[in-house]
Amino acid sequence: MGLGSSTMRLIFIGPPGVGKGTQSALFASRMGIFTLSSGEIFRKEIEAQTDLGRLAQRYIQHGELVPNGVTIEMMAKRLREPEVRKKGFILDGFPRTIKQAEALEEILADLEMPLETVVSLEVNDQLIVDRLKDRLGCTKCGENYNSKSKPPTRDGFCDKCNSPLMVRSDDQPETIRERLRIFRENTADVVDYYDKAGLLKRVDSSRDPEQVYQDILTSIK
């Protein structure tokens, strides 16, 4: 794979709060790779009050998974866009179930864009709860902050686009625990699935984002 080239086709997989969003943002800004975050797409649909947004919100507010059918359809549509085909992609938050992983395989086979590497980001649960309870996100561009470890320059506003920051409604301690439980119940199988397919690289994501970024680069070389 040509690093820095336009053809990377990666998945970042791991529990909520592990740093998938942070790492995809770094890869997007430094390497120009297109990132597709299923959670981010859902949040935009909710904000725009579309039918899909209304449906997704019913699940997201409880920390549950949105049904496979609509999720797969939504991601398939994005993956088929010419820009994604040209630039390559990082998937963040998709697939989260074996059904989604199987569907993704078919979609990518169809597009003749096989996956290159699946990066499993790994940390212990306590660190996740600690990180998520202080997480802030931009309401417009999706940039993530942390009131303790990565505060914005101007309190409450995004450094990049100046829009207001918010605490995600699903970052409440009870919803966090439910999301972690669901990760273990469904998405841990997806990690095994890619391990068996020989595509998986595991990266310790408890270190600072710059080190994790370097470790990911090393793992996909």
Alpha-carbon distances, residue 110 vs 38, 76, 102 (angstroms):
20, 11, 13
Examine the residue annotation and report whether 181 is marked as an active-site residue of this protein: no
Among 39, 88, 142, 152, binds ligand AMP (CB under 6 A): 39
Nearer to ligand AMP, 63 or 152 (CB): 63
- Choose the catalytic residue: 9, 20, 43, 131: 20
Nearer to ligand AMP, 35 or 100 (CB): 100
Query: Which residue's Cβ has the minimum distance to ligand AMP?
Result: 39
Can residue 131 be called a binding residue for ligand AMP (CB under 6 A)? no
- Choose the catalytic residue: 9, 43, 131, 135: 135
Among 179, 193, 200, 216, binds ligand AMP (CB under 6 A): 179
* Contacts of 194 by beta carbon, 8 Å cutoff, 6+ apart: 11, 13, 101, 118, 120, 200
Write down the least CB distance from residue 4 to ligand AMP, Å.
26
- Choose the catalytic residue: 168, 177, 181, 202: 168
Can residue 60 be called a binding residue for ligand AMP (CB under 6 A)? yes
Among 23, 24, 35, 38, binds ligand AMP (CB under 6 A): 38
Active site residues: 20, 96, 135, 168, 179
Q: Catalog residues that contact ligand AMP under the rule CB under 6 A.
A: 16, 38-39, 42, 59-60, 63-66, 71, 93-96, 100, 170, 179
